Chains A and B, each alone.
Chain A
Amino acid sequence: MKFKKNILELRQTEPELADKISNAGQSADIVISESKSGPPTLRIRNIFIHSLYDPLKEAAEWVGNYEENISRADNIVVFGFGLGHHINELCKRTNKNIIVFEPNLSVLKASMHVVDLTAVLSRIKIITDYSSPSFKGETVVMTLKPSINLDQEYFDQVLSKLKVRDILGNGLRIMVVGPVFGGSLDVARYCSSSLINMGHTVELVDNSRFEDTLFHIKEITKNIDQYNAMVDQFSHLLSEFIIARCEAFKPDIVLALAQAPLTPESINKIRQYGVKTAYWFVEDFRFMEYWKKIAGHFDHFFTIQKDDFFDELQQSGLNNYHYLPMAAFPNVHKPLEITENEKTYYGSDVSFVGAGYYNRRHFLSGRIDYDLKIWGTDWDIHSKLAGFIQKSGSRVDTDEIVRIYNTSRININLHSSSYHKGINPFGDFVNPRTFEIMSCGGFQLVDRRSGLDGLFEEGEEVVIFDDLNDLRQKIEHYLKNPEEAYRISENGRNRVITDHTYEKRMEEMLEIIVTDRFEPASWGDDRESVEDLVREAGETTELGEYLSHFADRERINLSDITEEISGGDGELSKTEALLIMMKEFTG
């Protein structure tokens, strides 16, 4: 039986898909009948997928129409499987990489019953959902029209995703703008490194060099109005720097982090060039209200809170917002080999890393019967907690923090609040620390936040406490059960490095930006594909022949060409002379 053979063949390469197809139901809409020439033809509802007369001839013609495209392309994508006639034909004509998108499992099942697909099933890849593979090189999309008509929405989406893949695959130019100081400074750096790792060309505008200057303004005047005016002017200047860098670097996308010194006017200027602008607001919107002034100026506004924040954003008339929670940077936040000395210095049964916010001070004062170390600034060294405060309450840098997470048996992660005594019952966003501790392989107890839902599995990957007593119980439990703690932290670590890295966030962000009517910015990158140029000039013309010498470069512009000519020896040909003349025109 055809089906058995087909399924067996498919199972070799795609066992999951083979199962799905086997388990697919029959559909009354699908009608297979014999065509006039013999091979089976397919009708779904009232749409004929293949010819009633000669589906094989039709398949051959269909492939023939794409002949040129096929020879140029590196990858072939087919929309619509039908009964596979055209796939068979295609496989006969080319050895290239073929991917077929077909959402209808019943159709696949039906075709496997009536057509011998053994030649093709192990060769091609069939995708039935929205996953989009990434391709290298040029891709041609061949469509089986009737199939498209049946599942228009599906194919539209797939096509759009493929386009996104293509754009991302080619690499984008991204400018990351960080703040002058503050938490998102590190985030800017992590984003930048991640994007570079993903193959994009990145420029990080590091405004931390102006930290001294900005703080100096405080020393110049005590007059608040004057101070604000000066800071405002300073931001304007820094914005000008960023615009200038933009004009030189010519990015496709500008990503600004919270508190990046970019005035709304400068964002508008940048947008005029067709650059897509994104802002990652990694703050608590209730606490930092400046989002009101800037959110509307960016193409995309990313937040670490949803629900209430989304409501407010929508009320402001915006709809450019997306949820994008924080993450960890495994290159930095990672398990380390710890020396004995470090263990002594950094290690403890229970640790707390963070600034001494109101709620933390109160909360931890109930914790002093443990081997506790408190790290961070703004703790009251005259309080009961004095003995636990490390380094006299001075700043801990990232290096040290990573060591603390690596050496503590239990890390307490209590999200900050300026007016709750303990836990904020309405706490929504998840702080970076949550991810960082896990990324280091550390064990943590974190207070309940609505944002944790969907990010981690409670009890398996992360342990959550609801109040002081709960915490106490859990500390005792896990100090007594280190293997359980270890298991949970291992799960947590795996989850973080799989789903919650800055690279993952950047992928998601770019997906959103690029999907949304994206076009590379009009900076005038005038490089054209050598192949296209040669074709346009005419392969047999003097110019065409000359340009084909640049084939190894793929894309060139006039400057590339004239540089090559100037570097050469011997007499100038007419073509070379004309090209130099063109260049001289623009000086």
Chain B
Amino acid sequence: MKEILIINLTRMGDLLQTTPLMAGIKSKYPDSRITLLVNSAFTEVCKGIPYIDDLMEFDMKGYLLRLTEGKHSLIENYKILDTLVNNINHKEYDLAVNVTHSRTSAILVSLIRAKELRGFTISSEGHRVIKHPWVRYFFNVIPNRDYNPFHIVDMYLKIGDVKPATRGLVYNVSEEDELKAEQILSKEEVHEKDVLVGFHLGASRDEKTWPVSSYAELADMIQEKFGSHILLFGTPGEADLAAEFEKCAKTRPVNLVGKTGVGELAGVLKKCKLFISNDTGPLHVATLAGIKVIDISIANVHFRETGPYGEGHYVIQADLPCSPCGFDVKCNDWVCKSLVTPENVFEVVRMALTGRDGEKDFDMTKMKQVQVYKSHFKDDGYLDFVPLMQPSLDITELYRIIYRPVMNLESKKINGQIEMLCESICKEISGSYSGENMSQSLDILQKDSVVLENFVSLTKKSLNILRVLVDEVRKDNQDINKIKELWQKIEPHESEIEMIGHTHPCFRPLTLLFMYSKEALEGDDLKVLAEKSLEIYEDLLTKSENMQKIIIKINIFLKRITKKESFAMTS
């Protein structure tokens, strides 16, 4: 019996995105019990999640109010947290996973009685410690977004050491919810046979909100062509957006803003043909309702991480050098919002609603300055987004493609695999990307390979020294001076390795992961430290050598293809 605690104190969307992890755990450990700690604001969502054996809630908003209002004493407030911890600790867990990226949850998880802790946690001295390699990768992501090929859901799976199996998020829409959904729709005089398209106008931040006027224009186009009903969804706080929509649009929408809880939303969405929105929680509800979605990805939204997790969904993004941008960007002119025009989105709507799988039937040359992607589960079981408009393959994109197998491959004994892997990668590339820029990217790749060669040799040198050190540490009479000397010898190599990460951002994913891993080394036991360091270095060597091999192969295959010019389309 495995007792597993998952702490997810984030938003509804994030909660839903943990469902494949939970499914994976249940699959790997059929006798396990999952305890889930959530923000009480989202307890309703948990009703539809089948894997929860024990639900614990904490009223985050209420607690924050208590703290800031100052009406309650420090002691009273302390006791609330103490009680929470005690309640969670009424049993000992085999594994506690914190998927909440916050210091508060990090501190909380460190107080849990668990044999193994994963996720964002703090050390016994109060410093941030990221325990599991995949959690380290997770936090590596933000500085290296451009190179990250994995969706958050898949990263959770890796953190949990479970295999992907669900090909989508999991949620059970209850009969009651279905019934309520029917009632809601009939109240609005919407019939079973009608073609329903759902819109969600708002988003948590202004930047990633597509203008209401654009939604309105789009609605009119859809209504005209398909005669469908447009259903507006949103939180009660977004009522003003719906009002604005009603002013701008010619078509009268069915205004369901503030009228649906999660379950009812899923129920209503099941009856829709399509759902269009910004990067929002309801986007994920739509995917698990089994309908197609179009994700309008603008500003600092990185759809590869947070986009629709399922097969066959669409994402549209502006084709700009600055897109997507970072969270710290202060933009004065969201050009990306205007480049994603209603007309462009309408093309994707047509694709989605016409029901044919072959997008090649659609003339996407009309669509200027945008890129469209379609979600697809690859052979490794993880999600990928395939470009539909044959964009050029720039070097960042190429590295992203390379990092997928680099991060996926755990061991060295895969030489044969690499060959096959690279061949399929290149086939995909030739099918999805244009030949434009290809030779430039390959040139850069070549130049970088030289640096990577150096990187690998530095890693090897350090590893050799480290092996001697570990041998020494394992002895009964350790020669402390020799050990010190050896550590000192490694230092300059290590600095160089880290420096490469700074000067060559394409290798930063490797070096940052390496640095986080070292940061996570705790304790005073020299033997343990040395052995763990050895593991870290071996991992670095594996990854960098694999990367080398992959780059060599891809280079060869792509050059071959370029020569043959057997690309699907050159723009």
Contacts and interface: CB of A to CB of B under 8 A. Distances in A.
B446 interface: no
Contact of B78 (A543, A569, A584): A543
Contacts of A571: 124-125
A443 to B, nearest CB: 58
A572 B124 contact: yes
A108 B357 CA distance: 107
A586 interface: yes
B111 interface: yes
A580 B102 CA distance: 13
Contacts of B64: 585-586
A566 interface: yes
Which of B64, B77, B126: most chain A Cβ within 10 A? B126
Nearest to A572: B126
Contacts of A533: 73-75
A497 to B, nearest CB: 44
B334 interface: no
Interface residues of A, number: 26
A4 B380 CA distance: 108
B68 interface: yes
A128 B124 CA distance: 63
Given A586-B64, A586-B68, A577 B107 contact: yes
Interface in A555-587: 557-558, 565-566, 569-572, 574, 576-582, 584-586
A581 B58 CA distance: 14
Contacts of A380: none
A269 B525 CA distance: 61
Contacts of B74: 526, 528, 533, 557-558
Interface in B96-126: 102-104, 107-108, 110-111, 122, 124-126
A483 interface: no
B111 A578 contact: yes
Contacts of B110: 577
B55 interface: no
Contacts of B29: none
B363 to A, nearest CB: 51
B511 to A, nearest CB: 29
A582 B81 contact: yes
A536 B77 CA distance: 12
B111 A536 contact: no
Given A572-B124, A572-B126, A586-B68, A578 B81 contact: yes
Interface in B190-243: none
Given A584-B104, A584-B107, A585-B63, A578 B78 contact: yes
A536 B104 contact: no
Contacts of B85: 574, 578
A204 interface: no
B359 interface: no
Given A543-B78, A571-B124, A585-B64, A580 B107 contact: yes
Given A565-B126, A571-B125, A582 B103 contact: no
B322 interface: no
Given A570-B125, A584-B104, A578 B67 contact: no
B3 to A, nearest CB: 20
A566 B126 contact: yes
B82 interface: yes
A524 interface: yes
B56 to A, nearest CB: 16
Contacts of B124: 571-572
Given A528-B73, A533-B75, A577-B111, A585 B125 contact: no
A580 B125 CA distance: 12
B321 interface: no
B416 interface: no
A313 to B, nearest CB: 38
A235 B63 CA distance: 41
Contact of B111 (A558, A566, A574): A574
B155 to A, nearest CB: 24
A13 B82 CA distance: 57
A16 B386 CA distance: 101
B73 A584 contact: no
A364 interface: no
A581 B104 contact: yes
A582 B73 contact: no
Interface string A519-559: 00000101010000100110000010000000000000110
Nearest to B85: A578
B98 to A, nearest CB: 13
Contacts of B81: 578, 581-582
B70 interface: yes
Interface string B375-399: 0000000000000000000000000
Contacts of B107: 577-578, 580-581, 584
A581 B108 contact: yes
Contacts of A569: 125
Given A584-B104, A586-B67, A537 B126 contact: no
A565 B102 CA distance: 19
Contacts of A579: 78
Nearest to B127: A572
B63 A526 contact: no
A533 B102 CA distance: 29
B483 to A, nearest CB: 25
Contact of A526 (B70, B78, B104, B111): B70
B67 A585 contact: yes
Nearest to B71: A524
Contacts of B73: 528, 533, 536
A537 B76 CA distance: 8
Contacts of A526: 70, 74
B126 to A, nearest CB: 5
Which of A543, A571, A572, A579: most chain B Cβ within 10 A? A572
A582 B70 contact: no
A580 B77 CA distance: 12
A543 B75 CA distance: 8
Interface in A85-138: none
Contact of B103 (A528, A557, A584): A584
Contacts of B78: 537, 543, 578-579, 582
B126 A580 contact: yes
A572 B125 contact: yes
Which of B68, B70, B75, B103: most chain A Cβ within 10 A? B75
A570 B104 CA distance: 20
Contacts of A570: 125
Contacts of B108: 581
A533 B73 CA distance: 8
Given A570-B125, A574-B111, A578-B82, A585 B104 contact: yes
Interface in B14-68: 63-64, 67-68
B398 to A, nearest CB: 40
Contacts of A581: 81, 104, 107-108
A585 B102 CA distance: 10
A506 B491 CA distance: 68
A578 B108 CA distance: 8
Given A580-B107, A581-B81, A536 B75 contact: yes
A577 B109 CA distance: 10
A231 to B, nearest CB: 36
Contacts of A582: 67, 77-78, 81
Contacts of A584: 102-104, 107
Contacts of B122: 572, 577
Contacts of A565: 126
23 contacts: A526-B70, A533-B74, A533-B75, A536-B73, A558-B74, A566-B126, A569-B125, A570-B125, A572-B122, A576-B126, A577-B110, A577-B111, A577-B122, A578-B78, A578-B82, A578-B85, A582-B78, A584-B102, A584-B103, A584-B107, A585-B63, A585-B67, A586-B67
Going nearest first, the 4 A-B pairs with the smallest beta carbon separation are: A581-B107, A571-B124, A584-B104, A536-B75
Given A528-B74, A582-B77, 4 more contacts: A537-B75, A543-B82, A571-B125, A584-B102
